[in-house]
Amino acid sequence: MRTRVTEMFGIRYPVIQGGMVWVAGWRLAAAVSEAGGLGLIGSGSMKADVLREHIRNAHQATRMPFGVNVPLLREDAEELLLTALEEGITIFFTSAGNPEKFTKPLLDKHCTVVHVVSSVRQAIKAYMAGCHAVVGEGVEAGGHNGPAEISTMCLIPQLVDAVPIPVIAAGGIADGRGLAAALALGAEAVQVGTRFITAVESSAHDTFKRLVLEAADDGTVLTFRALAPVRLLRTPFARRVIEAEQRGATVDELRRLLGRKREMRGMSEGDVEEGQFEAGQCAALVKDIAPASAIIERMITGCHNAIMRVARFTDS
């Protein structure tokens, strides 16, 4: 499968594994890259020294290209970027913040920079900042969402029309049908998060993996709209947030309810009562724990099958 994105990174399949806090360490990123996709180390839950270790381990584990995701709103974003550069990283997926500040310095160092966007306005901004591609992330996606709450189905074709750089679709893509649909919408690759939570190589707590496997069609909910919208599994903590929001809790109350380290307590430590578990609507499509290589192979086979199925409709 050849698109501008596979060419850009020198990868076999147009499948990128999203950089995910507490889930996407070196094991997952290396396994995805070895399997022909592009693995990303999620630095959002790491201090600089931890990131350095993950990059070194990934370099030991694979010679295939892999990258690092850096959420730009982090206070230490610059330190994370510099650490990744020192360790030889040339592929950066930036998110959650303004792409203007860091894109140019990364381009000066001959890096490939992709920014995650959730609206047409943000995509144009990323393009103007010099990004090589954008990830268009719909509101179905797990984790932090954009305030515009646009679905992947509606967002991707608008981005394709708005910017000349390649668009990578994210949000709700868990199998080959989703990949085929994204390509049909004009995307040139997909960024997959939730499906990889239950990869063998993911560092998600076993309880987190189990919760994803058990999720039903309405198993996730968009919370904390007044702070920073985040899609969570409907666990006891998420229900408390929904209740607070429904009775009109103030921003300060929500901030107090969120407290600190909820992500770590949930996704890394498996605390079902108090933790926060980020996952997308497509959790309902995730049925097993499997090696990253199997997830990708199935996705590619499923994509071919979906395209053939559609082609048969037009044969007659």
Ligand X SMILES: Cc1cc2nc3c(=O)[nH]c(=O)nc-3n(C[C@H](O)[C@H](O)[C@H](O)COP(=O)(O)O)c2cc1C
Residues engaged in binding ligand X (CB under 6 A): 18-21, 23, 42, 44, 69, 71, 95, 116, 137, 140-143, 170-173, 191-194, 197, 267, 278-280, 282
Nearer to ligand X, 155 or 160 (CB): 155
Instruction: State the minimum distance, in angstroms, from the CB of residue 53 to ligand X.
Output: 18
CA–CA gap between residue 84 and residue 59 (Å, rounded) = 12
For residues 220 and 283, the answer to whether their CB atoms sit within 8 Å is yes
Instruction: For ligand X, give the closer residue by CB, 62 or 202.
Output: 202
Least Cβ distance, residue 224 to ligand X (angstroms):
14
| Burial group, residue 209, by CB count within 10 angstroms (0-12, 13-18, 19+) | buried
267 CB burial (10 A radius; 0-12, 13-18, 19+) = buried
CB of 19 to ligand X, least distance (A): 5
The least CB distance from residue 197 to ligand X, in Å, is: 6
> Which DSSP category does 117 fall into?
E
Amino acid symbol at 123: A
The residue among 222 and 249 lying less far from ligand X, judged by its C-beta, is 222
Question: Judged by CB, which is closer to ligand X: 141, or 165?
Answer: 141
Name the minimum Å distance from CB 196 to ligand X: 8
Q: Among residues 8 and 144, whose Cβ is nearest to ligand X?
A: 144
Burial of 158 (0-12, 13-18, 19+ CB in 10 A): middle
